[in-house]
Amino acid sequence: MVRWHPTMDILFSCSYDNTAKVWWSEDADGDWDCVQTLGESSNGHSSTVWSLAFNAKGDKLVACSDDLTLKIWEADIIRMQSGDGYAPWLETCHLQKIGKFHL
């Protein structure tokens, strides 16, 4: 699955490798580069990431996975507003299904 950011020229993808990737093209040659992988190491999903969705402002992203978790990522707003280019995304919340409830 692929999603465009709602307000910026940034592309997000999710995949079978348990991650979501952030893609950005900073030059006129049209090449898109992966500038960040969400979910590497200890804060990642343990199974396929199936879907991504943004809030209306585009400063929060939720990723849902086959591991029955949701991870909420938040843009580094300070860097985004500075105009220095790409702003990194930070994990802000991890929801996991335990029985009937999400914790």
- Looking at the structure of the chain, the number of domains it has is 1
Strands 49-54 and 60-65: antiparallel
Distance CA(101)–CA(78), nearest Å, equals 34
Q: Has this prediction a pTM greater than 0.85?
A: no
For the chain, residues with pLDDT lower than 50 are 78-83, 101-103
Instruction: Please give the pLDDT value at position 13.
Output: 93
Instruction: Please give the pLDDT value at position 7.
Output: 86
Instruction: Please give the pLDDT value at position 78.
Output: 45
Pair 69, 48: CB distance under 8 Å: no
Pair 91, 82: CB distance under 8 Å: no
DSSP state of 34: E
Give the structural domain span for 69.
2-102
24-29, long-range: CB < 8 A, 24+ apart: 24/85, 24/86, 26/85, 26/86
